[in-house]
Structure 1
Amino acid sequence: MKHVLSPLCCLLLFLAGCTTVPHTGRSALHLMDNEELANSAALSFNFLKQETPISTDPTYNAMLSRVGKRIAKVAEPDMPGETDWEFVVFDDDNTINAFAMPGGKIAVYTGLFKVAK
């Protein structure tokens, strides 16, 4: 009985988390709702901001703000609920990276600006 119940519980858990992605029509497994995901991302983003130096370069910050506002404007209609957009430039010339987190948390490292002239 134990051997039958365990896979059955896994299957039910999997099916309960399945939803359809609006734009693609594909099925996806969602173990957290959007609000939980955004809250978790906000905590992680705040931790990163405390641990990583933030750039004060006006050129980089203006560039990210300008591009970020354009992205937010286009993405807003597809984002569930209110999105607390936040754009940060991390001061690390050795890191060539950028990332986005749920809830509108966007970061770019100064190293990316150096190579993407």
Structure 2
Amino acid sequence: MKLTTHSKKITLAAAIILLVGCSASPTGRTQFVALPDSQLDQMGEESFTTMKQEIPTSNDTQLRQQVQCVADALIAILPDKYRTQDWEVVLFDDKQVNAFALPGYKIGIYTGLLSVAKNQSQLAAVVGHEIAHVIARHGNERVSTQMATSQALALGYQLSGEDSAQKTAIFQALGIGVQVGIILPFSRTHESEADLLGLEYMAKAGFDPRESVALWRNMAAAGSSKTPELLSTHPSHDTRIEDLQTNMPANLAIYDTLISRQKQAKCY
């Protein structure tokens, strides 16, 4: 079945979608952001409020202070545009080994993560990673990408002739291709970018950047999903460790300079 009759219209529509909202991430990577940040921030704030109502927060004062201290140290080295925002970091009482970030400057840490992040620098690697997601507008980029690809497929379907079983099968295959070829790689790109930005943040805040590698080794030892990297939203542990080690020298030099000035972080 040929779907070329309306190819010019589809190409034009796709081009319009892709030309809207192009910008650059903090690393200089070109990104597609189509929605107002204010809209995503509101969504993030609403979601975070709901989570705080549904998931208990930790009543361990010491742990909460440690997490907040690490977050405060990282936020303090950010550019003014981000440092002066109303960041909210919450320690949720949940055994899952995880953390997350939402637009609107919201970060959630689960107590289960602290069994793997065994010192302040390993925790800083996690919190720095989540801060990077917010600053790099990854939430907006992902929602925008999903919206654009869905609209492009829907438009293509409408312009490609009469409905048929063959047509449906073709567009189902295209949908799978979009997920594996666009959405998942974008997510892995976001994770890798957040790792490297987080590495920079932790070094500048006086945390030992080498502990980021130790963290992911701990993660691997604790067990993880066996989903192949191709079909996962996250890079493999080995990929993350390799990327961190490649970018380690410059960040270690920053950390060593702070040590020489006795300005390393001291949260616990």
Unaligned runs of at least 5 residues, structure 1: none
> Computing the radius of gyration over CA atoms, which structure comes out larger, 1 or 2?
2
User: Residues 70 and 108 (structure 1 numbering): CA distance in 2 closer, same or farther, change over 3 Å?
Assistant: same
Q: How many angstroms apart in 1 are the aligned matches of 2:104 and 2:73? A: 16
Give 2:78's aligned residue. Answer: 75
Pairing of 1:1-117 with structure 2 (within 5 A): 2-21=6-25, 23-77=26-80, 79=82, 83-92=85-94, 94-117=95-118
Q: Secondary structure of 2:77's partner?
A: helix
Q: How many angstroms apart in 2 are the aligned matches of 1:25 and 1:90? A: 33
Per-residue deviation, 1:106: 1.0
Q: How many angstroms apart in 1 are the aligned matches of 2:40 and 2:76? A: 21
Q: How many angstroms apart in 2 are the aligned matches of 1:18 and 1:65? A: 34
When the two chains are superposed, the root-mean-square deviation of aligned CA atoms in Å is: 2.1
Q: Secondary structure of 1:11's partner?
A: helix
Aligned letter for 1:90? F
Q: How many angstroms apart in 2 are the aligned matches of 1:112 and 1:24? A: 27
Per-residue deviation, 1:115: 3.0
Which deviations, in whole Å up to 9, do the C-alpha atoms of 1:67-103 show, x marking residues without a partner? 11112212243539x62210101001x2011122222
Unaligned runs of at least 5 residues, structure 2: 119-268
Give 2:252's aligned residue. Answer: none
Per-residue deviation, 1:42: 0.8
Q: Secondary structure of 1:79's partner?
A: helix
Q: Secondary structure of 1:75's partner?
A: coil
- Which is further off, 35-44 or 3-12? 3-12
Per-residue deviation, 1:56: 1.2
Query: Percent same amino acid among aligned pairs?
Result: 34
Point out the structure with the larger helix share.
2
Aligned letter for 2:48? F
Per-residue deviation, 1:29: 0.2
Q: How many angstroms apart in 2 are the aligned matches of 1:77 and 1:35? A: 18
Per-residue deviation, 1:46: 1.0
